[in-house]
Homo-oligomer: A and B are copies of this chain.
Amino acid sequence: MPVNLVAPDPASLHAVPGITLGIGSAGIKKVGRKDVLVMKLADEARVAGVFTKNRFCAAPVQLCREHLAAATPRALVVNTGNANAGTGLDGRARALQVCEALAAQLGVAREAILPFSTGVILEPLPVEKIITALPTAVANLAPANWAEAAEAIMTTDVVSKAASAKVQIGGQTITITGIAKGAGMIHPNMATMLGYVACDAKVAQPLLQQLVKHAADRSFNCITIDGDTSTNDSFMLIATGQTGTEIVDAASAEFAALRDAITAVAQTLAQAIVRDGEGATKFMTVLVEGGRDESECKAVGYAIGRSPLVKTAFFASDPNLGRILAAIGYAGIEDLDVDKLDLYLDDVLVATQGGRNPAYREEDGQRVMNKAEILIRVVLNRGPVAATVWTCDFSYDYVKINADYRS
């Protein structure tokens, strides 16, 4: 069951002027399931994205990059149930067929369509099914469909994920709404399977690229569930350009305000992915302080967050905390002086100067381990930098879900 996460209240998700959403059902995995999403953009809209660094990136990811370079996007199309990854040249051809079909219906160039797929790898994309579902999706395009859109992109997710905010920027109200899907194969670069955040601000393209990278590095690139990096991860930021004067200065207060608001929405979505991690029963925040740079703090955070031995101990609520020290030890900091290191579980000082805190009592550790949300705080005591990683535990259900996933 997801950790402190419920499906978003549709009433809480604000429509973003300049983007409409339509849902279809292609019957890719199950008949009748919502599994196709079309997002149509106003002419003024601009899109920036970050994608998986997996060398086996899916055909739609390859096409997205090319289309973003070639044209101004006018629509996005997402299918679940099939990743169109590990499908070679045939996979590219099929993804392009989807783009062509939607482009024809919307009367735009095929390069103006950005395709996305998520699901099983190494199986041919059922392109005819998807194309058949497109007219329905196009017919029900509407600004208020965010909750349905969040449902349409789910795979092994238990609950849908969406977040929304309104902020005052330069005397204007800017609306930000986003959706994401995750559940498994979750590790950074990108750390989510799919995430889409739209706002109605007007942002110059180079600044939009800065914004999406900034937000990703503080949200989807701070989470891990199983350490598996997906072939299809994509996080897209859309600025529909319907509100306000264009933001062109990265040093402006407007840029900073928009950046922070978008990052906050992205963080909510990224944390929702962890809360709904496959089989998750606990949500852990790993805060690594006192590092020399961010990369070493992240490396320690990920070593802890990814360790099956740490994750199974948390599942069992067993304060077997030496496993955290072992993970810190293999995080790859060659000159780490472990004798300077402190480890806290919430407010409990477990280890100090690299050894067990003499005042530490097992019952204090147990008290924290029994909680559903736990802070693991590591103080490296070698520099001024901190970083955070969010992760979940590793349960029987993780194995069950991933052993059964295709059946």
> Which residues does A use to contact B, with CB under 8 Å?
53-57, 83, 85-91, 120-124, 184-185, 187, 189, 226-231, 306-309, 312-313, 315-316, 318, 320-323, 325-331, 333-334, 336, 338-339, 350-351, 353-356, 394-396, 398-400, 402-407
Contact = CB atoms under 8 A, between A and B. Distances in A.
B307 A355 contact: no
Given A54-B326, A83-B322, A325-B56, A355 B230 contact: no
Interface centre among A320, A326, A327, A404, by most B CB within 10 Å? A326
B320 A354 contact: no
B88 A355 contact: yes
6 contacts: A55-B328, A122-B322, A123-B356, A313-B403, A315-B399, A318-B403
Given A185-B326, A396-B400, 17 more contacts: A54-B326, A55-B333, A86-B322, A86-B326, A86-B356, A88-B356, A122-B322, A123-B356, A184-B309, A226-B309, A228-B330, A229-B329, A308-B308, A312-B402, A315-B399, A315-B403, A316-B402
A394 B395 CA distance: 12
Copies of this chain held together in the complex: 2
A185 B189 CA distance: 26
Contact of A86 (B184, B330, B333, B355): B355
Given A308-B228, A338-B56, A398-B399, A85 B325 contact: yes
Nearest to A315: B403
